[in-house]
Amino acid sequence: MAERSFRKEVEHLRKGAGETFTGEGILAITKALLENGVGYVGGYQGAPISHLMDVLADAEELLAELGVRFEANASEAAAAAMLAASVHYPIRGAVTFKGSVGVNVASDALANLASSGVTGGALVIVGEDYGEGSSIMQERTHAFAMKSQFWLLDPRPDLPSIVNAVGKGFELSEASNTPVMLMVRIRSCHVTGSFQCRDNRPPPLTVRDALGDPRRDFNRVVLPPMSFRHEQDKIGNRWPAAEKFIVENGLNEIFGPGRARVGIVCQGGMYNGVIRALQRLGLADIYGDTQVPIYCLNVTYPLVRDEFLSFCQGKDALLVVEEGQPEFIEQGLSTMLLRAGLPVVLHGKDMLPMAGEYTGQVLLDGLTALLGEHAPELLPGRVRAPNEERPEIPDLSKTVPIRPPGFCTGCPERPIFAAMKLVEQELGKHQITGDIGCHLFACLPPFEIGGSTMGYGLGPASNAAFDGGGEKRAISFIGDGGFWHNGLSSSIGNMVFNRSDSVAVIVDNYYSAATGGQDIPSSRAENPTKSTNHPIARALEGVGVKWIRQIDRTYDVARMRDVIREALTTDAEGPKVIVASSECMLNRQRREKPLRNKAIAEGQRVVVPRFGVDEDICTGDHACIRLSGCPSLSLKRLDDPLRDDPVAAIDQSCVGCGNCGEVADAAVLCPSFYRADVVHNDRGPGAWWARVSGRVIRWLQDRRYARQLDIREVAR
């Protein structure tokens, strides 16, 4: 169950010539694939373009009608390997995943693909989320494109440019027999706009047809001596063919006046930001009409020497707007200028930050610096005097607290780490590693469990060096998504083969939850197009794990604590694996809330559990918060002057998972947590009993208050 459905939007993918398509960038990319006769599509579920896979999944019926094969691949490596269909056959294929981690996982297949070359157009749509919107290490896909000679497209972030890049990307791939990467940033994925449609086009040769007419060419096999020839073919044939196609089709664009003292070279994805900065300086309008020439690189690799040098003619200085580091583009352009002997001053990272996201203010400062030094006449009244004071920007870190990510309200992974904390109180601290996924939040307060992560599905493998028979066993965590992605072989298989004595906890929340809630092989849902309901425990048995414990309700903190303690203290040999299963609460609420609201609206009797804290019993030591960290569990100050410390309180966001009460019970904290059932539309015996019991309770309370001693009366 993905976090967002595109069932309604995909109907617009059927639009044809003469119609206007309006929607998000990811929908535009899908429409462009269909218009350009793609034969097969695939990819791995992952941000920032996870929704592109969701769009493709929801459009599977339309894809089938056109004869397009769709596959939700097990990993980025599997997706990249799928492009092998374009090596020998004139079939256009596209796969999508996240860069740069996705490119890293797929690097082996991609390197072989780039070496052998392709016959049909091969397009890798890479979601580049460099900057503060990213959830990964800060790297760029550009380095891989240079290493393996993938041509890299970075189109301007508007729908017509993105759609054009998809079509031209296929054509460029076929013209140069080279796979092409199409880089789309977060803004490109979710930008909204419109473009003129063309008719969807079935692939001239489907993968089904290709099966009936097999082809093979040993010259494309990556083995010596062919692999040595591949390198020469890249440089001698494919590269010149790519440059020729780029120039003849005008893939890179030039905006602004033909002659000027200064100019700007920017990545296509940075074009909107550059225009906005020029607009703020009064040097461009909202339609992109600029007074400063811009050389917009919709193809950032390869760089076209003659095209760039032509743009440099008559200019004194250029500013290269290249987000991220190292400055690959700036270095390449510097080499071209040096070899051509042109006296053009090239600025880039000297006026713009080496690292970090190029926000509007960053670009404004960089362009102001360029113009102030080389064309001050373009900045009348805008260049500050040397002693002019810049308005002080407040340090928001002094007033706005750091807000690291955390578990959702009711998350079934929270009790796992509460149990781990309880075990550590008994047995002491252990060496713990995490993995990519929601469970990595446990390394943050209040749990502070685990301090490293090395890759998706590599949690247990990250602890291999510590499996040396010490006094304590190492513990590792891995999610169900990571388990099926890479963990079964690289982590669990590795533990079995090396007779590991460590402990692995597989956090099974039924979905690839961190990437949007898509189904995986162990999902409990019945998926009409995918095979699900394959228990993780059976896969563990299949690779040779003997000690397996399955927990089907992680909210049972006492049970979790006991099983973890057993795994750490048992005399059993070999790897110890705990499968901790409970459905992702976010996905559960997405499924159950609409049904519950509908039932309430229809007048049906519905019981909704809620939890609370008895203010009279709570002692205010807040141990429950330190062992839970649920966003719905907060603090509340009382009006009682004799109680200074705030007590625990549960707010209206509570989903009734019961974890707080379970933790309090397992940790022997206090009995202040209570459960209350909110009953909607109760017209039967329950309603009658509620009225009677309410009257009795009120009568007892009134009698008790009447017997209390009134201090004011005594004082008189």
For residue 388, what pLDDT is reported?
A: 44
DSSP letter for 389, please: P
Q: What one-character DSSP code corresponds to residue 646?
A: P
Kindly list the domain boundaries of the chain, sorted by start residue.
Answer: 18-196+216-248, 253-378, 414-587, 606-704
Is there a shared CATH topology between the 18-196+216-248 domain and the 414-587 domain? yes
CATH number for the region 414-587 comes to 3.40.50.970
In this prediction the pTM is 0.86
Q: What is the pLDDT of residue 447?
A: 87
Cα-based distances in Å from 403 to 101, 355, 463: 24, 22, 29
Residue-level pLDDT at 345: 96
Pairwise CA distance, residues 508 & 462, whole Å: 19
d(CA 18, CA 198): 7
Q: What pLDDT is recorded for position 387?
A: 44
- Residue-level pLDDT at 691: 84
One-letter amino acid identity for 369? Answer: A
Contact 37, 12 (CB under 8 A): no
Which CATH architecture describes the domain 18-196+216-248? 3-Layer(aba) Sandwich (3.40)
436 sits in the region (left: phi over 0; alpha: psi -120 to 50; else beta) called beta
Q: How many CB atoms lie within 10 A of CB 279?
A: 17
Is residue 651 a contact partner of residue 632, using CB atoms and an 8 Å limit?
yes
Within the chain, how many helices (H) and strands (E) appear?
A: 27, 23
Question: What pLDDT score does 385 carry?
Answer: 42
Going from the first residue of the chain to its last (716 residues), give the mean pLDDT of each consecutive group of 10, the final group possibly shorter.
76 94 92 96 76 88 94 91 94 91 90 94 90 75 92 95 97 97 88 94 93 86 86 93 97 93 96 94 91 97 96 95 94 96 95 92 94 90 49 70 81 92 92 89 86 86 84 92 91 94 95 84 88 94 96 94 96 95 91 91 89 85 81 85 83 84 76 86 81 88 76 56
Identify the CATH assignment for 253-378 out of 3.40.50.920, 3.30.450.40, 1.10.540.10, 3.40.30.10.
3.40.50.920
pLDDT value at residue 713: 58
| DSSP state string for 466-479 | G-S--SS--EEEEE
With contact defined as beta carbons under 8 Å apart, do 580 and 418 qualify?
no
pLDDT at site 3: 65
Beta strand ranges found along 135-278 (DSSP E): 151-153, 180-185, 192-196, 253-255, 262-267
Which of 584, 591, 585, 587 is closest to 654 using CA atoms? 585
Give the pLDDT confidence score for residue 390 in this predicted structure.
55
pLDDT of residue 383: 47
